[in-house]
Amino acid sequence: MESGDQLGLDLLFTSGITRGLPAIVPVAMLYGTPEDSVAQMTYLKKRGYQVSYIEMGEEPDGQYMLPEDYGALYLQWATALHRVDREYKLGGPAFQGVTEDIKAWPDARGKTSWFGRFLEYLKMHGRLADLAFMSFEHYPYDGCDTPWENLYQEPGLITHIMQVWRDDGLPSNVPMFDTETNAHGGEASVDIFGALWLADSFAGFLTAGGKSTHYYHALPYSPPHPACPNSWGAYHMFMVDGDYRIRQRTSQFFAAHFAASVTERVPGAD
């Protein structure tokens, strides 16, 4: 885990972290082949692991892919994966954490919206139905310092970027998933700021009509965060020692626990 956070599929499904529930599983696109992804999903299917959604690729905007190129790969993968199981629910593109529309080089019509052009590509090929969900990451702040005024901006930032995706042409019946989010690193992330930000961001996402939001990083991580010299642990609910044994719960653990207990007491809460 020191060199990264990519764990094996068997460990993921048998560790208990999924709580026995279906999981969202990613497949590689730009650095993979349809055959690789078919083999991956066939293996999971034979093992009896439950999958709710398949996220197609990751951060194509950060890899400077043109939307049409991503669209072409997306349809190749969709065709291949649906041969394994017609019921697979596919989506993406798992954008990087942005707060404004993503721009690409203008096409022949002068259009620059990355997501808008991707959606048009699917429509032109009669395959918009292959997009069962839209996913993005949400990291609204840069750097390791986290000033308090950022906290007050969060509801507006998450609401705005979700409206941007709808304005780009995402149909109202296609749900949005925030598949990776947390406050940026530094000491504030594991202090009171981190707890308040978690509550503010998740509530803002759901209020804006989001389907599901996903906490990063749920797995214990050893301090310090490599990118933040002022960090004694970031993105996490737990402080661990060199053997990954939990030694301390952080503020976000208590915030999540409180939110869950409140939800359980509210009739009809989901």
Examine residue 1 and state whether it is found in any structural domain, yes or no: no
In a domain, 146, yes or no: yes
Rounded Cα distance between 67 and 71, Å, is: 6
Number of domains in the chain: 1
- Name the nearest CA neighbour of 161 among 186, 145, 178: 178
pTM confidence score: 0.89
Question: How far is it, in rounded angstroms, from Cα 60 to Cα 119?
Answer: 14
Residue 52 forms part of a structural domain: yes
| CATH number for position 207 | 3.20.20.80
In angstroms, the CA 181 to CA 83 distance is: 32
> Does 121 fall in a domain?
yes
200 belongs to a structural domain: yes
Asked whether the beta carbons of 45 and 85 are under 8 A apart, the reply is yes
Q: What pLDDT score does 103 carry?
A: 96
- 120 assigned to some structural domain: yes
Rounded Cα distance, 11 and 247, in Å: 23
pLDDT in tens, the chain (270 residues): 455 556 789 998 998 888 889 999 999 999 999 999 999 999 999 999 999 999 999 999 999 999 999 999 999 999 999 999 999 999 999 999 899 999 999 999 999 999 999 999 999 999 999 999 999 999 887 667 677 888 888 889 999 999 999 999 999 999 999 998 887 666 777 788 888 988 888 899 999 999 999 887 666 665 566 667 665 555 678 877 777 788 888 888 898 888 777 655 545 545
**Residue 4 lies inside a defined structural domain of this protein:** no
Quick one: pLDDT at residue 91? 98
* Residue 240 domain flag: yes
Q: Find the domain containing 136 and state its range.
A: 9-265
